[in-house]
Amino acid sequence: MNAIKMLVQQHRQMEEALEAVSKAEGKARATLFNQTADALMSHVMVEETHFYPAVNAHRTEGILLESLEEHLSLKRILADLIALPPDDARFEPKFHVLKEQAEHHHEEEEEKLFPKVAKLLTPDELEELGETMLAAQEKLLAADTREHAPRQTRAAAELK
Ligand SMILES: [Fe+2]
Ligand SMILES: [Fe+2]
């Protein structure tokens, strides 16, 4: 699967899932939140370990560094949320910030990064990269991927 198409598709799925968490209550909210947090964290980790290194070039470096800082912010909010019971008064406002930041981050990647990547890699390369990323994500999702978030809150990941 084409790496850009895969990431865009996951952005839309994540936005729907974030919306569903906002509307859910009680136990359903906790379950949906855990699923969404796993999806978000696995997406971010696959971008950091596979996609960003593969598309790191002079013309993408600035936006990649900014993206990594946005990932750090998302991980910090996720780590906070994981530590909170979903019925805690702080859960709702914090979750709203996560949702807004995720939406903003998706927009930035899609408008600023992906058009550059589409020129940088050939369709075949994008296809191969997508396959590698899907396999890596599947492995990550075999465990509770969200649990990685609290261990990655010190600094942004390094750009390789
Ligand atoms: Fe990202
Ligand atoms: Fe993304």
Give the integer Cα–Cα distance in Å for 133 and 7: 10
Residue 159 lies in a domain: no
Residue 34 lies in a domain: yes
Residue 26 lies in a domain: yes
- Say how many C-beta atoms besides its own lie within 10 A of residue 133's C-beta: 22
Provide the domain limits for residue 50.
3-150
Burial of 48 (0-12, 13-18, 19+ CB in 10 A): buried
- Say how many C-beta atoms besides its own lie within 10 A of residue 30's C-beta: 16
Residue 85 lies in a domain: yes
**Which amino acid appears at position 130 of this protein?**
G
- At 86 the pLDDT is 79
- Report the separation in Å between the CA atom of 148 and the middle of ligand 2, taken as the mean of its atom positions: 17
Number of domains observed in the structure of the chain: 1
Residue 68 lies in a domain: yes
Query: If the chain, 160 residues long, is cut into consecutive pieces of 10 residues, what is the mean pLDDT of each piece?
Result: 98 98 92 96 98 97 98 98 91 97 98 97 98 97 93 94
Residue 95 lies in a domain: yes
Helix (H, G, I), strand (E, B) or coil at 85: coil
- Report the separation in Å between the CA atom of 8 and the middle of ligand 2, taken as the mean of its atom positions: 7
- At 87 the pLDDT is 83
Residue 157 lies in a domain: no
Residue 121 lies in a domain: yes
- Report the separation in Å between the CA atom of 41 and the middle of ligand 2, taken as the mean of its atom positions: 10
